[in-house]
Amino acid sequence: MQSQPIASAGDGVAKPRSGLAALAFGALSYGASAIGALVMRSKGPADSAWFRSLNKPGFQPPNWVFAPVWTALYGTIAYSGFRIWRAEKSPERTKALALWAAQLAANAAWTPLFFGAHRPKAAMVDMIALDATASAYVAAAAKVDPRAAAAVGPYLAWLAFATALNGAIVAKN
């Protein structure tokens, strides 16, 4: 499919448009989520005997909170990546897209490590890598499209919370 240039809202820069690309970013983002869902289906839900046996911190939210939060966050991840992809080609854009993919890969690895392999410590190492790559992505994205960087602000906040939660579970077990 050939990209068609359009003017973006407010910034006066012509950017390529492609519905197929937008779908691809959505598929990649929600695909990372699907990996976790498949692991949860095969290894048992978050209320499995193994998970219930873990000592968890008092700030652990109810299990039902995670699905709607992650659904929204994966949407912002897709939107942000698509905005970067639409930007004019440059070394900064290439770097931002590579970091977008790296943070998504680290994100996709967490659930299989924590819930699939029952390895909270390994998941914590992955979470630290995810924090680093997501933060680096935001810094790189800000140089290309500040709105794309801002869109994943809630994701960074949730990752900070998730890191604290994973760390507390490691410390208590």
- Does 34 fall in a domain? yes
Instruction: Check residue 1 and give its pLDDT.
Output: 40
Contact assessment for residue 123 and residue 114, using Cβ atoms and an 8 Å cutoff: yes
What's the structural domain count of the chain? 1
Give the DSSP letter string of the chain: ---EEEE-TTT--EEEE-HHHHHHHHHHHHHHHHHHHHHHHHH--TTSHHHHHS---TTPPPGGGHHHHHHHHHHHHHHHHHHHHHSPP-HHHHHHHHHHHHHHHHHHHHHIIIIIS--HHHHHHHHHHHHHHHHHHHHHHHHH-HHHHHHTHHHHHHHHHHHHHHHHHHHH-
- Does 132 fall in a domain? yes
Instruction: Check residue 40 and give its pLDDT.
Output: 67
| Ranges in the chain, pLDDT < 50 | 1-16
- Does 7 fall in a domain? no
- Does 49 fall in a domain? yes
- Does 3 fall in a domain? no
For residue 66, what are the domain limits? 14-172
Tens-digit pLDDT profile for residues 34-80 = 887 777 666 666 668 899 999 999 999 998 999 899 999 999 999 99
- Does 87 fall in a domain? yes
**Does the global pTM surpass 0.85?**
no
- Residue 110 sits in a domain whose CATH number is 1.20.1260.100
